[in-house]
Amino acid sequence: HKPSGIVVENSETRSQLDNKDKAMQLLKSQLYEIEIQKSQEERKKIEDSKKKIEWGSQIRNYVLHPYKLIKDIRTSVERTDVENVLNGDLNEFLKSYLLRD
């Protein structure tokens, strides 16, 4: 197999056709194992990049009592119109985050 550089040989039987079929099965199984390993490595890379969900790892603070304030910790943007933010108006937070670099 030229793209992967894997060489498979088989000489179990006297029939060349049977040996070729068996070698093809072995090659497919090895290529399948390589693909599984690649997908596991990619999945592990994604899992490692995730932040843990714990106290202090949040990106925004919501204070609703005694006063109303929402503060984005990453960009220090503060808003007092809590109802709009809770209804989904996050554009100001997103813009400031994207423009911070």
Residue 86 makes CB contacts below 8 A (sequence gap 6+) with none
Token pair for 7: 């060489």
Segment 49-66, tens digit of pLDDT: 887 778 878 889 999 999
Residue 11 makes CB contacts below 8 A (sequence gap 6+) with 19
Segment 14-47, tens digit of pLDDT: 999 999 999 999 999 999 999 999 999 999 998 8
Percent of the chain's residues with pLDDT above 90: 69
pLDDT value at 101 more than 70:
no
The predicted model scores a pTM of 0.51
pLDDT of residue 13: 87
Mean pLDDT of the chain, nearest integer: 91
pLDDT of residue 55: 80
* C-beta of residue 68 within 8 angstroms of C-beta of residue 80: yes
Backbone angles phi, psi at 43, to 5 degrees: -65, -40
Cβ density class 19-38: b for 16+ within 10 Å, e for less: eeebbeeebeeeeeeeeeee
